[in-house]
Amino acid sequence: MLITLVVAFALCWFPLNLFNLVLDLNPSLFDKIKTREDERLLIGLFYSCHWLAMASCFANPIIYSFLNENFKVRHMLVRVTNGIVDCLTDWAPGLSVGTRRLHGLLHTPTH
């Protein structure tokens, strides 16, 4: 799992770092921008690279949820909803029939 996270991080951040490195090492590229289309292309390329770099934050939880047995989103959601159902049954006894039925559905075995 760690290797997958490192590879995903590297793939997401490499284009932005390469873009910045090329512009830092060759600042004369800015002088070659003559038309509005060239400027839009450079800005679009920057934002595409930046978006991909920020996508690594989005990819991490997905990788965790698929590869780590201790980090299962479904189990966390069941725990949260069970806590809400327990609070509702204590707070509003009139809702107990529906919430107990929901509580029973949530406690069904997942194996």
Per residue in 58-76, pLDDT (tens digit) is 888 888 777 776 665 555 5
pTM value?
A: 0.58
What whole-number distance in Å separates Cα of residue 21 and Cα of residue 31? 17
Q: Which amino acid is at 89?
A: T
Per residue in 13-58, pLDDT (tens digit) is 999 999 999 999 988 888 888 899 988 998 999 999 999 999 998 8
What whole-number distance in Å separates Cα of residue 53 and Cα of residue 32? 26
Written as six digits, the tokens of 96 are 């107990």
